[in-house]
């Protein structure tokens, strides 16, 4: 079992709880090299792992140039971690993710946030609980200064938006959002199950199916066709219009289009001027 451990309170608590649960754990620390002295943080995690009796691996991740440094660093970190790695995301992280997805215009899956499961075992805990656990064990978590940099949108949600919402609502909004995400996630999984029985290339089947199921079936198919990248909602709606016979074909990005031929939808190279 592998745990991604940055040395912060959440991932340190994850490592502690995994070891105490009797799991055979390897802690993996990923250094992006984005901050001075970040390489020394691996030594702190290595010492914690040794104290707990866990194995340790240090890895380096190269962050590509471009916009949205936070997203690029996250992608580099995920690429450096083995599949199935546990992470220390908490209910507070879930609430932040859902709010960010909401303002980005995400649909049902975005409002479900991170899916519960073996790789996210701490989604039921709060950040204050992981900090209290570390304090009770005498663990001094590392503090990443970028977590308070308001240039990052997530930090503004964490330090400004959520506190404001809690003052307005006079309640623990993060807990409410995280709980709703779990309920929405259950609904999303049910829709996934129902949509799995729908053939996404059968135009007639898509037309007669309930619109939410047709959308999900098409989104899954287009995601597979596009190498794992979900299509925008507008693209899915245009493909549904093709299935219904309103249009002959539509562009779906990447120099490709979806056409209807003999009642079947197909992905083909795009044509100039195609809608």
pLDDT tens track for 146-198: 888 898 899 999 999 999 999 999 999 999 999 999 999 999 999 999 999 99
| pLDDT confidence of residue 61 | 77
| Residue ranges of the chain assigned to CATH 3.30.465 | 196-269
| pLDDT confidence of residue 12 | 97
| pLDDT confidence of residue 218 | 96
User: Average pLDDT for residues 193-218, to the nearest whole number?
Assistant: 96
| pLDDT confidence of residue 149 | 86
| pLDDT confidence of residue 36 | 67
Say yes or no to pLDDT of 19 above 60: yes
Residue-wise DSSP of 135-196:
HHTT------GGGG-TTSHHHHIIIIIHHHHHHHHTS-HHHHHHHHHHHHHHHHHHHHHHHT
Could you tell me the CA-to-CA distances from 94 to 177, 183, 242 in Å, in that order? 8, 13, 37
User: Radius of gyration (Cα) for the chain, nearest Å?
Assistant: 22
| pLDDT confidence of residue 75 | 78
Q: What is the pLDDT of residues 50-75, one digit of tens each?
A: 999 999 999 987 777 767 667 777 77
Q: Poorest-confidence range of 30-34, 146-150, 221-225?
A: 30-34
The number of beta carbons lying within 10 Å of the beta carbon of residue 20 is 9
User: Average pLDDT for residues 14-27, to the nearest whole number?
Assistant: 96
Fold (CATH) for 196-269 = 3.30.465
Most confident of 22-26, 31-35, 38-42, 222-226: 22-26
For 2-90+117-144, give the CATH class: alpha beta
| Residue ranges of the chain assigned to CATH 3.40.50.620 | 2-90+117-144
| pLDDT confidence of residue 66 | 66
């Amino acid at each position: 079992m592998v745990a991604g451990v940055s040395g912060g309170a959440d991932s340190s608590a994850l490592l502690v709880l995994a070891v105490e649960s009797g799991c055979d754990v390897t802690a993996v620390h990923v250094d992006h090299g984005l901050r001075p002295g970040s390489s020394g943080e691996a030594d702190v995690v290595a010492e914690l792992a040794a104290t707990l009796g866990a194995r340790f691996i240090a890895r380096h991740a190269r962050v590509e140039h471009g916009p949205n440094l936070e997203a690029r660093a996250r992608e580099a970190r995920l690429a450096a971690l083995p599949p199935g790695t546990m992470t220390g995301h908490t209910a507070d992280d879930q609430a932040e993710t859902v709010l960010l997805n909401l303002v980005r215009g995400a649909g049902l899956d975005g409002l479900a946030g991170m899916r519960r499961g073996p790789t996210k075992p701490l989604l039921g805990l709060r950040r204050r609980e992981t900090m209290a656990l570390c304090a009770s064990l005498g663990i001094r978590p590392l503090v990443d200064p970028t977590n308070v940099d308001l240039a990052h949108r997530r930090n503004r949600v964490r330090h400004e938006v959520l506190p404001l919402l809690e003052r307005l609502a006079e309640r623990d909004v993060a807990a409410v959002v995280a709980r709703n995400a779990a309920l929405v996630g259950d609904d999303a999984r049910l829709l996934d199950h129902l949509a799995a029985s729908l053939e996404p290339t059968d135009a007639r089947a898509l037309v007669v199916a309930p619109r939410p199921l047709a959308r999900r079936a098409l989104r899954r198919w287009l995601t597979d066709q596009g190498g794992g990248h979900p299509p925008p909602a507008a693209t899915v709606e245009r493909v549904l219009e093709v299935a219904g016979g309103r249009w002959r074909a539509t562009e779906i990005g990447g120099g490709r289009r979806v056409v209807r031929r003999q009642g079947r939808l197909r992905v083909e190279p795009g044509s100039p001027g195609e809608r």
